[in-house]
Structure 1
Amino acid sequence: MKLYYFPGACSLATHVVLEWLGAPYETVKLDRDGTKSPEFLKLNPNGAVPLLVDGDFVLSQNAAILTYLAASHPNAGLFGDGTTRGRAEVMKWLSLLNSDVHPAFKPIFAPNRYHPDASQSKVVADTARRNVREYLERINGRMKGREWIADQRSVADPYLFVMLRWTVKLHIDAKGLDNLASFFARMLADPGVRASIVAEEGSVDANARLVA
């Protein structure tokens, strides 16, 4: 398998899952220009990462890739307890992260895409920060007494971890989110997570904390 990724992007979630699976894979590091190159656009016309190539199968969209990896490696136990309800529980949280939480960050990263008046960029970004905080509060409540968002380790957890890394990077208020802070620290100590970060960024910030 081959993973196309961009450092700092949500493709880190797929990278972590590949590490957890222990299956052979290789990576291709891209920058922003690389995602728009003619060669890459032939593989993914959307010009976005992650992109997974498995033999002659080319798959884009993080939720689809994570689901594919979990379903094609059932012995890894990353898709619930093996029951239909267990898989649905993983998909519920994966869908929330992909369809709601992830998009909530976009106006913070690029407020000009959501309002043509540059003078309104701060208003757009601040509103998005509040929206992200609301999602995190709900997920923090879900994590009370749990180590993993879907009750056992799954492909949804690395995606949540990426959202929390963005929370730290963007200095979004995380005060009081102690359950998520514990999850973040636990993930940051995971060998597969650390290996993925080192491969993409060169090192792991040992002092990174969700809640200062």
Structure 2
Amino acid sequence: MEPVLFYGVPQGCSFGSIVALEWLGRPYRLCRINMPDDMQDDLYARFNPVRETPVLLLENGASLCESAAILQNLAARAPERIGYPAGSLELERLNQMLAFLNTTFFAAFSPLWTAYEMESDPPVQAVLRDLGRRQVAKAHAQLETLLGGRDWLVGPRRSIADAYLTGIARWAEYHKATEQSAYPSLHRLLQRLNNDPAVTFARAIEAGEEPRGSGAFLGHVRLADLAPRLAA
């Protein structure tokens, strides 16, 4: 039984897990979750009690939540392709980069997402947007320093860290938070990723299309049809 990724639309950070699955190239299915409505379903809470995306339904019926955990699970399936071997210095650096992306870089956008939901209170919305833009600019500058002119976030090839970045960095344009061209190394990396076939595939998936991709994608499955697969 192939794994199933529950991905959120619109603009879910689960985008990066779709990219990683395409890079992995092993059979998988997707379950589309319209945020926030579908996450309020009691059945969804059985897969993830905190009602967030993404979720990876594993082959044994267990649910794995949180992007960092899901990406590490995928990398462990083929470390030579999207991760690094256990015990290696490269893996330690990958874990460090994932931690930065999952905390500092991700969290920088939090005020902007909160402002997005506060149309009824323009003054507070304006304060949150100003705070968010300053935080996003700082996080971009920090990532530019960490990248250090390399082609990829960790080591000489792409990894799950680069996949995760694709799902978060696009929020800067969505919120008009910062000009990514001001960060040359990061900008080059994002341009390279934006032209990657797996990223093109993930964009098409979010748009509601059924692209071919690498051939590993076996189609969508409905939430209601996945209940029998849940582990006891």
With the shorter chain as reference, the TM-score category is: 0.7 to 0.9
Deviation of 1:70 after TM superposition, in Å, equals 0.6
Deviation of 1:145 after TM superposition, in Å, equals 2.6
Equivalent in the alignment of 1:5: 7
For 2:176, what is the secondary structure of its paired residue? coil
Equivalent in the alignment of 1:25: 28
Deviation of 1:80 after TM superposition, in Å, equals 2.9
For 2:6, what is the secondary structure of its paired residue? strand
Deviation of 1:147 after TM superposition, in Å, equals 1.0
Q: Considering only aligned residues, what root-mean-square deviation do their CA atoms show, in Å?
A: 2.1
- Is this contact kept in 1: 2:153–2:161, CA < 8 A? yes
Structure 1 vs Structure 2: percent identity of aligned residues?
28
- Is this contact kept in 2: 1:107–1:113, CA < 8 A? no
| Cα distance in 1, alignment partners of residues 13 and 127 from structure 2 | 25
Larger relative contact order (Cα-Cα within 8 Å, sequence gap ≥ 6): 2
Aligned AA for 1:167?
A
For 2:83, what is the secondary structure of its paired residue? coil
Matched length: 201
Aligned AA for 2:44?
F
Using structure 1 for the length normalisation, give the TM-score.
0.87
For 2:178, what is the secondary structure of its paired residue? coil
| Cα distance in 1, alignment partners of residues 174 and 162 from structure 2 | 18
- Is this contact kept in 2: 1:13–1:158, CA < 8 A? yes
Deviation of 1:192 after TM superposition, in Å, equals 1.2
Deviations 1:2-38 (A, max 9, x none): 0101121100010000000000001011112111111
- Is this contact kept in 2: 1:4–1:51, CA < 8 A? yes
- Is this contact kept in 1: 2:53–2:66, CA < 8 A? yes
Deviation of 1:66 after TM superposition, in Å, equals 0.5
For 1:46, what is the secondary structure of its paired residue? coil
The within-5 A match list for 1:26-175 is: 26-32=29-35, 33-55=37-59, 56-76=61-81, 78-80=82-84, 83-111=87-115, 119-151=123-155, 152-174=157-179, 175=181
| Cα distance in 2, alignment partners of residues 156 and 93 from structure 1 | 7
For 2:111, what is the secondary structure of its paired residue? helix
Q: What stretches of structure 1 of length at least 5 have no aligned partner?
A: 204-212
| Cα distance in 2, alignment partners of residues 15 and 147 from structure 1 | 21
| Cα distance in 2, alignment partners of residues 196 and 113 from structure 1 | 26
